[in-house]
Structures are given as C-alpha cells and as structure tokens.
Amino acid sequence: MLWFNCDYNEGAHPRILERLAQTNLEQTAGYGADPYCRQAEELIKDLCKAPQAQVHFLCGGTQTNLTVLAACSRPYQSILSPVTGHINVHETGAIEATGHRIEALPQTNGKITAAQIAQVCKEHWEDDNPEFAPQPRTVYISFPTEYGTLYTLKELKEIRRVCDENHLFLFIDGARLGYGLTAPGNDVTLPDVAALADVFYIGGTKIGALLGEAVVIPNLKLQKDFRYFMKQKGGILAKGRVLGIQFLTLFEDGLYLELAKHANDMAALIKTACKQAGFSFLYDSPTNQQFPILPNDLLANLEETYCFAHIKRMDKNHSAIRICTSWATRKEDVLQLTADLLKLAKEQDATHRVSFIQQ
C-alpha cells in the first residue's frame, strides 16, 4: 500500500536523524536550556525578522494550541475560530478543558473575515450586559487552513487591523506553515506572519520532524511567564535538545521550506491529474492537501493500492477524499498514482460522471 492519507506517515527527514546521532553523547542542560534550542531560537527570530520575539519548543499541535490559548486568555474570555478550526473540531475539547469558550464563526473555504470578527465584537460590547457572555479576546486562524486554503496578505492585514481595534490577540496555527509559505500564489512571508500575529507556531511534526512545534511570540505581553504555562500543561520536554536539534536542522539551510515545496509540487501533480480526469474539488487548495471528488467505484479501485482519508459523502455515487503529500512523498509513487487515476477515469463510462461545484 502507498499511503497518501496524511503528512505524518513516516519518521523524520534523514538529516534530522543524523544530527540527533552526531550530538547524542554531548551533555547538555535540560528543559530547553541547551545550546541547540538557543541556536534554533536565534535562527528562527532572524528568519522572522523579529528580534524581540521569544521562541519555545513544544511537542505537538493540540498541546501547543491549548498552551498558547491559555496564555492569551483570562477565564471569562473567548477565542474566535472558524467553525472548521482544528481547536473547534478535532481536539476533544482541549481548549474548553482549560476553561475557555470557543466562539465558532461560519467559514468560507476554511477562512473567516475581518468583518465577521468586528461584528462579533460589536455585538458583545453593545449588549446591555456584556458580562453575561464571554468577552472576545483572541482570534484563532490557521495558515494554511484545515482545507489547505490560504489567507492573502491583504486578508491577514485586515484581520490584524480589526484585532487592534478590538483589543484582540491574533494567534496563527501554523501546523503546516511551510506548505502555505511555499504554495503557488501565496503572497505571505514568514516575516509577514511574525509582524501580524501576536503569537504563532511553525509546525515541525507535519513537515519533516519526528515531533515538535516552534511557538514564536512576537508580542511582549504574551512572552511573560510563558514557560510557566508550558510546564503546567506538561509541555517542557526534559531532553529539550531533541526539539532544538530538529528545528536547527530544518532551518539552518532552508531545509524546512524545501521539504514543504517538494510536498506542494507533488500535490500539484495530483491536482492536475484530477482536473485532467474531469474531477471537481471540495476546496481549491494550492498546498499539500488536495480534496478531489471521485466516483465511488473508481475510488474503490484506487484504494486497492493507495490509502486516502475519506472526508465527505457527496451523493450516493461520489465521495470527497483528502490526498496528502509530505516531505517523504516520492515522485515515482505520485506518478504511479496519477497514471492509475487517469487510466481508471478513462475506462469509466463518462456518462456516470457528475461534476460538483467547488464549495
């Protein structure tokens, strides 16, 4: 079987394993106070053009989200998120378990707008008794979104402006940040993200690391005492170097963006083949996740060889799936997949095909 169901099916990029082996017997301080964490922090701050920022290393996405959002919020404050946000649908109430309400906003292509955020704040503050509802405090968005789509720089700037006007923090979940930064058509850079967000993270787990997310905190207010939050939530790794070494390896020679771009390129080949075969997409993603809508019988054939994630039953004959590529995806496997896909599509009776409008 060839697995295209997610972007964390393999271990780490070999250079990471090599580096771990090379440094293995060096003795270092624990809990992130080692030289590798410090070097990785400096490197990331440089690349972000954010000398005032702090960088902290955590193990995984849910841990990062719940730690950052606890640091952003007083107990009565809420987090605004697209209804499809990872924190709202896929983390077992991890945010609520820290005591905070998520206000889920309707999304379009996985995104929310500055106008929606402004409207929520307006309604809150115009209420006769605003204290009878949680106070909006933080905006949570993902770049790329759960659907692989991207905010434009203009959209992000508008969201920033609305956040400033309403005294809100902006937290950008970058579990797949690299895929967004290297996507065709993207106009957002890493320094843009660092300039616009109060806090964001650079995902390692899904782009080449064994595990690890680098939290970048440009906003000084959120820096204070952040390590207390990390420790309390179980997020300070004793051998912090395991994270520092990985991020140092990913960032010192541009490996991170290189791996992300490779995955995007592989996804683009699949996207092109799906279009060629006449298939629609549930979302129009320029990144490493593709959401084509396939006839069920064709899908069944493909699934004898390939593994995908099922996303949505469109009608009795069609299903939307997610096809993911990663740093580890081999071009030969992609070419085999696209060839099989085109061959099967051709064989299929064209009259059975239905085109779905992209949503």
Window 52-91: contact mask with its own copies (x via CB under 8 A): -------xxxxxxxxx--x---xxx-x----------xxx
Helix, strand, coil % over all residues of the chain, rounded to 5: 45, 20, 40
**Single residue of 154, 231, 312, 343 touching its own copies by CB under 8 A:** 231
Task: State the angle between helix axes of 14-22 and 241-252 in degrees (0 to 180), rounded to the nearest 10.
Answer: 130
Sign of CA dihedral 91, 95, 96, 101: negative
State which H helix or E strand residue 290 sits in.
Answer: strand 289-290
Q: Which stretch binds its own copies (CB under 8 A): 6-14, 49-57, 146-154, 294-302?
A: 6-14
241/262 with CB nearer its own copies: 241
Q: For residues 112-151, which are near its own copies according to CB under 8 A?
A: 129, 131-135
**Single residue of 221, 239, 312, 343 touching its own copies by CB under 8 A:** 239
Give min distance, CB of 346 to its own copies, in A: 28
First to last CA, the chain: 30
Give min distance, CB of 284 to its own copies, in A: 26
Q: For residues 174-203, which are near its own copies according to CB under 8 A?
A: none
Does 206 contact its own copies by CB under 8 A? yes
39/135 with CB nearer its own copies: 135
160/262 with CB nearer its own copies: 262
For residue 144, whether the previous peptide bond is cis, meaning omega lies within 30 degrees of 0, is yes
Going from the C-alpha of 214 to that of each of 53, 277, 328, the distances in angstroms are 12, 39, 21
235/295 with CB nearer its own copies: 235
**Among 116, 206, 126, which Cα is nearest to 168's?**
116
- Token pair of 161, please? 């402006």
Nearest-angstrom CA–CA distance, 32 and 35: 8
**Single residue of 108, 152, 232, 272 touching its own copies by CB under 8 A:** 232
26/297 with CB nearer its own copies: 26
96/284 with CB nearer its own copies: 96
Give min distance, CB of 211 to its own copies, in A: 6
Nearest-angstrom CA–CA distance, 150 and 109: 9
Q: For residues 90-119, which are near its own copies according to CB under 8 A?
A: 90-94, 96-101
90/331 with CB nearer its own copies: 90
Q: For residues 250-309, which are near its own copies according to CB under 8 A?
A: none
Residue 349 CB-density burial (10 A; 0-12 exposed, 13-18 middle, 19+ buried): exposed
Phi, psi of 55 (to 5 degrees): -130, 130
Are 322 and 147 spatial neighbours (Cβ–Cβ below 8 Å)? Answer: no
Pairing state of beta strands 199-203 and 293-295? unpaired
Give min distance, CB of 209 to its own copies, in A: 9
Q: For residues 299-338, which are near its own copies according to CB under 8 A?
A: 328
91/186 with CB nearer its own copies: 91
Give min distance, CB of 348 to its own copies, in A: 28
**Single residue of 24, 253, 316, 357 touching its own copies by CB under 8 A:** 24
218/240 with CB nearer its own copies: 240
**Among 168, 149, 148, which Cα is nearest to 158's?**
168
**Which residues, including other chains, have CB under 8 Å from residue 211's CB and lie 6 or more apart?**
59, 60, 204, 205, 243, 246
**Single residue of 56, 111, 176, 241 touching its own copies by CB under 8 A:** 241
Are 243 and 212 spatial neighbours (Cβ–Cβ below 8 Å)? Answer: yes
Give min distance, CB of 194 to its own copies, in A: 24
Q: Which stretch binds its own copies (CB under 8 A): 21-29, 42-50, 142-150, 160-168?
A: 21-29
